[in-house]
Amino acid sequence: MISTKKMKALEINSEALGVPTLLLMENAGRSVRDEIIKRFNPEGLKVKVFVGHGGKGGDGLVAARHLAGDGADVEVFLLGENKHRDAILNLNAIEEMDYSIKVTEIKDVFQLSPVEGDVLIDAMLGTGFSGKPREPFATAIKVFNNSKGFKVSIDVPSGIDSDSGEAPSEYVNPDLIVTFHDMKLGLRNFVEKTAIKKIGIPKEAEIYVGPGDVVVNIRKRDFKAKKGDNGRVLVIGGSYTFSGAPTLSALASLRTGADLVYVASPEETARIIAGFSPNLITIKLKGRNISPESLEELKPWISRADVVVVGPGMGMEPETVEASKLIVNYLKSTNKPAVIDADALKANAGIGLYPNAVITPHIGEFKIFFGEQVKESIKERVKQVVEASRKCNCVVLMKGYIDIISNGTEFRLNKTGNPGLAVGGTGDTLTGIVATFMAQKIDPFTAAYIGVFVNSLAGSLAYRKLGEHIVATDIVKHIPEVLNNPVEAFRNKVYKRIING
């Protein structure tokens, strides 16, 4: 079964992959016609189509056009203005078919009264509907139910929530439901009445992360939001030698939309990091490197944060390796959402984690952490990552020319990167992005696959301008461009890859 949110993402992803929603609408409406003529001879068939707003209304118009072409006697009732881009195009076609289709525009509910036909098509309220139907739909649903004829609902019966199946008020009681791509969650009680029709959504729209995944999962800031509502991220990293990695994670986190980002580093390193940006809050840990004694200093900050990043630039000094193990074990014991990367991965190789943790190994780190060589074939790698995720009980995001993300059950792939991303720091920006999405209450698996998509696509936009001369801070600069308009950003990417095997 599929949720409304996932279905919307698939439609956007399909368009991004070159299968326009206009074509999906055409296939949907045609499949409704196909189900009807399985049951009725279309010649002279009296068909009444109740058309509402949005894509469902457009599906009904397509069905009306095809049935009229088959010889049916078709009348369309327009229940208000439809502003859906694809539905408008189909309405224009219907209005030109004034010889074979009668169009009645309903401007007042008093125009509505029961009709009689061989087939009645419900194209009123679609998957975006919830709550109680407003006028003219409340009356139209009653009229539809009281009309005589074989009743067909497109996608979901009007008045029913497509996710919950709830209907707090009037809803269409059809003889047949023609739903698209997959069974909707809200149709549990209508399985025997439902025909599922494929409409041309490519499998890749589900496998590859696309702009639709960003659109449906990234929420807009509430007008009344206060500081902290959109996430607090703590980055634990840096060492006497390395200051750039935790800084990049923190800057990416801020650009992704975290309200507050804290960077906990050894005191001298923290002072250097503070000089990079006044937007960063630095926590100055005692000593030249993070050590076991740092954990007590970190505990109140870990408690304050929504998500913790651990690993960027920590180094592999013996005291830091021991500290890394203690910190990760503490995060596990408190079930704190976390992104574990870089040196923290190496220090904690082979341990079992927890579902609120995301690890982001590249191929070399995957071998160190799991003790196995990464397969050459992408399809074999997918199996390997799914099994690895199940084994460590966490989300695994394996970076590569094709990124593979799994929670042990599902997997997604990302191919929006480019060769320019193979420079230092791009993995650090990724951890900051993923952590921010987790801090904004997106589940770890979704946060991971959206995060790597945003990171790679920001890199692709930088690559378009700079070629093979990009650096990690270029990714940070382009994050807002991706988040503000992921569809347009995806359209402007320059690098494409084809995988086989």
306 is in an annotated binding site: no
427 is in an annotated binding site: yes
55 is in an annotated binding site: no
- Give the side-chain half-sphere CA count within 13 A for 460: 24
473 is in an annotated binding site: no
DSSP string, 360-404: ---HHHHHHHHSSPPPSSHHHHHHHHHHHHHHHTSEEEE-SSSEE
158 is in an annotated binding site: yes
Alpha helices in 396-469 (DSSP H): 426-439, 444-466
313 is in an annotated binding site: yes
Compute the distance between CA of residue 178 and CA of residue 170 in angstroms, rounded to an integer: 20
Compute the distance between CA of residue 293 and CA of residue 322 in angstroms, rounded to an integer: 10
Query: What is the CB neighbour count within 10 angstroms for residue 199?
Result: 19
280 phi and psi, to 5 degrees? -90, 140
Whether residue 215 contacts residue 8, with contact meaning beta carbons closer than 8 Å, is answered with yes
DSSP-derived secondary structure letter, 469: T
Using DSSP bridges, classify how beta strands 403-406 and 395-398 pair: parallel, antiparallel or unpaired.
antiparallel
Compute the distance between CA of residue 420 and CA of residue 251 in angstroms, rounded to an integer: 20
Tell me which amino acid residue 124 is.
M
Compute the distance between CA of residue 475 and CA of residue 432 in angstroms, rounded to an integer: 12
Task: Name the residue among 439, 75, 443 with its Cα closest to residue 232.
Answer: 439
Compute the distance between CA of residue 118 and CA of residue 151 in angstroms, rounded to an integer: 9
Q: Cα dihedral angle (488, 489, 494, 497), rounded to 10 degrees? A: -100
Using alpha carbons, list the distances in angstroms from residue 124 to 140, 168, 192, 381: 9, 17, 22, 45
Using alpha carbons, list the distances in angstroms from residue 30 to 27, 128, 178: 5, 21, 11
139 is in an annotated binding site: no
Q: Cβ contacts of residue 104 below 8 Å, gap of 6+?
A: 75, 76, 77, 78, 111
222 is in an annotated binding site: no
Q: Cα dihedral angle (347, 349, 355, 357), rounded to 10 degrees? A: 30
294 is in an annotated binding site: no
Positive or negative, the Cα torsion across 180, 182, 184, 189? positive
175 is in an annotated binding site: no
Annotated binding residues for AMP: 427
**Binding site residues for (6S)-NADPHX, as ranges?**
126-132, 155, 245, 313, 362, 428
Residues annotated within a binding site for K(+): 122, 158
Binding-site positions: 122, 126-132, 155, 158, 245, 313, 362, 427-428
